Every structure is written in C-alpha cells, then in structure tokens.
Amino acid sequence: MTPSVVFSAQVELRLHVGDRSYELGQLGPDFALLRTASPLQAGDAEIESVIDGKTTRRRIRITKSISGDCRRFDFESNN
C-alpha cells in the first residue's frame, strides 16, 4: 500500500491601501475579510496574493467604507 501524500500551498493575502497594509483572512470574487477588524475608507487599493512564493497583485476599488468593528468589505476590480 502506498502512503498518502498531502500537498498544501503556502498562501499569504494582503490588502494595501496607501501606505498601510492589512492581512486578509479570506478572499472572494468581489469581497474579502480582514484577518483583524479595522476601519477602511472607500477608494483605490491593491490585493496582493503570494502562493508558494509567486506574487500577484490586483488593483481594486473598495466600494463602501467599513467601521472598525467590521472585517468584511466589498470591492470592484479596477483594471
């Protein structure tokens, strides 16, 4: 019997807004969850994904400001 092998990618997700950076806990097609609740202003931002050392960046627009007790924000692609 062959032993089972488990593969797991190393994933890091960050949101960059101006000179601030926030860790993301979850990323969907048009929303994301901050790892820790923090206020965010609506406007331009960038999502950085690092998967097994390969970095991609996606320019977005946060569509609505959120308060400091909220983790979820919605966004639109800004291509």
Q: Across residues 12-29, what is the average pLDDT? A: 97
Dump pLDDT digits (tens) for 24-71.
999 999 999 999 999 999 999 999 999 999 999 999 999 999 998 999
Q: Which two tokens stand for residue 11?
A: 């994933």
| pLDDT for residue 33 | 98
Domain extents in the chain: 11-77
Tell me the pTM. Answer: 0.86
| Cα 60-12-3 angle, rounded to 5 deg | 135
